[in-house]
Structure 1
């Protein structure tokens, strides 16, 4: 095996026969490491997002031990370290507020320690982009081990998707008369194994993104968390990261502009989450790769939907894995993908050469897709001068061109207080507008864009309405929902100026979102607009509010864009 011992970064800590070499080695010896661990072995940092407060990542403690086994087998020295974990299902107000903080934790933990290569253990949706963002800013050899989806939920003879069922609860309560016992049974059935959500939600989308970018071993993203093959993949990843260090296969050699283009194409084909846009732009920003909002429309909007998974379809991630997983999709897309290097040193085209589809009801051929055009559409207009997005595969076709009167909610508190008021002036043709849920407005840009419909319309049988906000939507959700409106309302974007009764036009085919109000009237309203007070004057949230960028720039902190490399400033030598 080719070695790179002379250039190991960890040698600066462990290689010297001086005072600091003594200090660095001697304290670690209290863990019982033999002398050969400090003599030229690549030191592999296992970045673990395990936490009992992050249900999707609750199995990663065991996986760290499996990765260590692979590292040791390949001649490396594995050292596990914890970083801030982000559990979307529990954390308030939203994990998106803390994605950038977690990325800082990862970046500084890697840079400050004697590490030559990194294994990222990820699961719940923000743990994948946050750890990748942090690792990118240091640029060492890095491999991702996705935690994997749960097994399919089983409920009363059918399947239930963890995540997607959440958006049916109000409808089930109001129209289908679900009892407390019904909900308890569904609650127990929905998440029946370790792993992240089992739909093509944001967690599955981010795992898919990691593989599409080339950051995992082939086939890693779709294996269920409790399948023994996931453990094998973790062990092999431990072996491979040692080889990547010896080959000096750093993140910057994998994450080229072409790799990001591949990820955009793949996301369209699998019906992935709109959240991919914000995360991918932020990752590209850390790498110094130019990527803009329009790229997602230009490169992905004409790609057909090849995967029949909730929320765009009917199956779940377990079915997708059995059908062949992402390797089959990559094979169908191979003429649309750049030949870029991946974590195993080969291209996607080489890696997927022997892929076989075992169920065309789950993964279709490129020429006979489930939907002809499935990528994310980027909208422009006076209501979203810097852009907004919509996911056509999750929307109602009849609403993709629509004109209706705005019903405005100024905050989530306002929405909750009034949405089910029987006297609310709203009908099926109305457009629900939700303000002040963007990066600065909430703060943190939560997944609330797909707000529930009013009770009185649900009782009338209404299943979807056009909804517009500067917030995000869960990747498990569906509906005709316009998201990521920029500039956001909290900084005076035109979304802040919308009033009840204003007509709004949505035309997805022509990529247009228009507020039918004259420029003169908008300026009059702007003069009367009062900015909201800051949420806080202290701590991380204050830093976030001062530095967070808008959605079309990835909602990263402006002070984190780019990277500082692996050199440690001000060490003790």
Structure 2
């Protein structure tokens, strides 16, 4: 492959010509202390930083940007730090998912509009990884993704705590009356001990692993704990590599192929991934012109066992343990020929070369194909008259007895209404009932908030019951668990079948056969549809108005229709298998 020359650099369009406009660019660069040594024949590398004072997951990225700069300078590039939206999962309302596409748009335009030759993307908290990757894929410049890394293990009273997962567990016990405020406050103080993302295999760790599965990180980057000194060295390595990628003209279209997409999906399923992965995988792939569908995801999930024994799908370990066991390279080594080892990565090598030296140091943390945590992949796609375009469930993290279930619905039109039901200890229900929350999808939420792991009703908790079937058009946290059916498409807010069901209707779930139905005749559903009235729009102005006009449904990845690679033109539909 021919290497670029200094004259080929994109940034040279701004700095090289001997004309009025370029003189202005050079003089303004000099205003900041630059000199010709900074722009003459050197790649300008953007450090896209999602740090903010309200992002605990990214709180260390201000420091890490300095290490990335060090690497860029070591390799003969010029670093420029560019701040973007921080995607603060913990503080954004109504939901960070509302802003994923805004962040992707910001990344794309930031890269496109400035004198940038390549980029290092820094993020990791749930929506930041897909937003950064989606925007950078659309911009098309060489880039490498630096995962923020997971925080240290939580601890309370000698017990290892996993963020999110153990919060839900202890909250159930608090509501059941088995623990008091002192224990609850102890968990609060011990569950998040450092900067970094959730240390369970929640959405953050899932998406960082998927980025590595796509070949968009350097080998092993996704599992390094945020406070580990190795993370600083990885940051510098990403800086050096970004400069090399510019000279090699290693653009993302040469990395994110069908083979890489299949690898990313396989890795997701083998890690026991978050249900959110499905939405983000589809959106990321389609930005690269890969028409990934729910059917592709389900097909790969059926044949890919869960190998990562990490909560919530696993029972014991956390991301720190996964890192010490060998991280994602070791897991991919266990997957062997289930991956396309010829796929190219940002390292410039093949995936097979990247993982050739990987070692699994703990076969209980990273299981073999012959001894999986769960026999199929983490997620399953359901379809039927209640979800003609699909719904998602996480069989590996639910009580197996609910994989085949039939029970009467208890329907709530809002989260507030559902909250009142589950907190009413006199509400008539049994473990066979199906809690149904609607109007919580992409448009109805708005933004599809993480309300899908509906808390267990108090009345059932006090009888020792910890799981039941729950169904919604919402999402749930990747740290969540239980028999939760999510992402029902089309959503209720636009008149999907979920809008038509009534309390008492029988819901039929068959996970092995991937079926989700409501036992109501087509004639009755048609009569109900004739009576249904569309709700008022959630927004009348601003970004929210743009969101509701252009966001796609969950089965399409919830991207904006005008940001797809195929917008206005058909995309061929090759087989992924």
- How high is the TM-score relative to the length of structure 2? 0.96
d(CA) in 1 for partners of 2:420 and 2:25?
A: 58
Distance 1:390 1:352 in 2: 31
- Could you tell me whether the CA contact under 8 Å between 1:438 and 1:470 is conserved in 2? yes
Residues 97, 444 of structure 1: 8 Å contact kept: yes
Contact 2:29 2:35 (8 Å CA) reproduced:
no
Selected match of 1:505 from 482, 504, 508:
508
Kept after mapping to 1: 8 A contact 2:380/2:514: yes
**Partner SS, residue 221 of structure 2:** coil
The CA distance in 2 between the partners of 1:374 and 1:360, in whole Å, is 18
* 1:348-367 map, 5 Å: 348-367=351-370
Equivalent residue, structure 2, for 1:202: 203
Does residue 29 of structure 2 align to residue 18 of structure 1? no
In structure 2, the partner of 1:284 is: 285
The separation in 2 between residues aligned to 1:354 and 1:258, in whole angstroms, is: 22
| Paired position in structure 2 for 1:489 | 492
List aligned pairs for 1:114-263, cutoff 5 A.
114-263=115-264
**Kept in 2: contact 1:86–1:124 (CA 8 A):** yes
State the partner residue of 2:575.
none
Q: Is the 8 A contact 1:287 1:563 kept in 2?
A: no
| Number of aligned positions between the proteins | 564
Where does 1:18-417 land on structure 2 (aligned, <5 Å)?
A: 18-313=19-314, 314-338=316-340, 339-417=342-420
What is the Cα deviation at residue 2 of structure 1?
5.4
Query: For residue 448 of structure 2, what is the aligned residue in structure 1?
Result: 445
**Partner SS state of residue 196, structure 2:** coil
How far did 1:563 drift?
A: 8.1
> What displacement does 1:250 show?
0.4
Confirm or deny: 8 A CA contact 2:174 2:184 kept in the other structure: no
Map Cα deviations across residues 153-182 of structure 1 (whole Å, 9 max, x no partner).
Answer: 111111001111221243221335333222
Task: Give yes or no for contact 2:433–2:468 (8 Å, CA) kept in 1.
Answer: yes
**Cα shift at 1:3:** 4.8
Uncovered stretches (5+) of structure 2, i.e. residues with no partner: 568-577
The answer as to whether partners of 2:390 and 2:487 remain within 8 angstroms in 1 is: yes
CA contact (8 A) 1:45 1:118 kept: yes
Q: Following TM superposition, by how much is the alpha carbon of 1:32 offset from its aligned partner in structure 2, in angstroms?
A: 1.5
Kept after mapping to 1: 8 A contact 2:426/2:459: no
Which one of the candidate residues 528, 549, 560 is aligned to 1:546? 549
SS at structure 2 position matched to 1:221? helix
Q: Is this contact kept in 1: 2:441–2:473, CA < 8 A?
A: yes
Q: Which 5+ residue runs of structure 1 have no aligned equivalent?
A: 565-573
| Structure 1 outlier segments of 4+, above 3 Å | none
Secondary structure of the residue aligned to 1:506 is strand
Per-residue Cα deviation, 1:424-477 (whole angstroms, up to 9, x for no partner)? 221100011110000000100011111101101000111100111111111100
What residue is the counterpart of 2:570 in the other structure? none
TM-score under structure 1 normalisation?
A: 0.97
Question: In structure 1, what is the Cα distance between the partners aligned to 2:67 and 2:554?
Answer: 37
User: In 2, distance between residues paired with 1:52 and 1:498?
Assistant: 44
